[in-house]
Structure 1
Amino acid sequence: MKWTICIKNTGFEASLETRKLYTVEDDLKAQAHGMIRVVDESGEGYLYPAQMFGPIALQNTLESQLLAA
């Protein structure tokens, strides 16, 4: 699973929280347009500008704990 952290939420303050981790769905078409598909609390994936996020690599144990939470 891929993870990202929101580093900027300008224009999307109601939808995104800065410094919050989100899971990422692979979407090559979105990536080609500079977008990223992140999954919110509802389990739905939404497109946002990729520059609003930074990739995160998690250790397996931490990832397991986050997924179980």
Structure 2
Amino acid sequence: MVVNFVVCVQKDNLGDVSGDDIHVGRLYEVVEMSAGHGMMRIIDESGDDYLYPEQCFEPVFLQEAAALRLSQVLPHN
């Protein structure tokens, strides 16, 4: 099982997307890396998964064991 993570690097120019549930510098688990139209689906601060613009994030590379452990402790609804 591969678990992908990204870090939020900016919240500007989100268009119709609310930035209330993402924070610059925080790590987020990716549900769908390329969801089309320049969007990715991540699990945000609410614990639910939503679409956000890809340009707001940069990938974070972790060893598989660390990624699995981190996935277990991050909020999920």
Q: What is the TM-score normalised by the length of structure 1?
A: 0.75
Find runs of 4+ consecutive structure 1 residues off by over 3 angstroms: none
**In 2: Cα distance, 1:6 partner to 1:52 partner:** 6
1:26 aligned counterpart, secondary structure: strand
1:26-59 Cα deviation digits (max 9, x unpaired): 265x23x111111024331111110000011112
Q: Name structure 2 gaps, 5 residues minimum.
A: none
CA RMSD, aligned part only? 2.1
User: Percent identity of the aligned residues?
Assistant: 34
Correspondence 1:1-69 to 2 at 5 A: 1-10=3-12, 11=14, 12-26=18-32, 28=34, 30-31=35-36, 33-69=37-73
Q: Which has a greater percent of helix?
A: 1
Q: How many pairs align?
A: 67
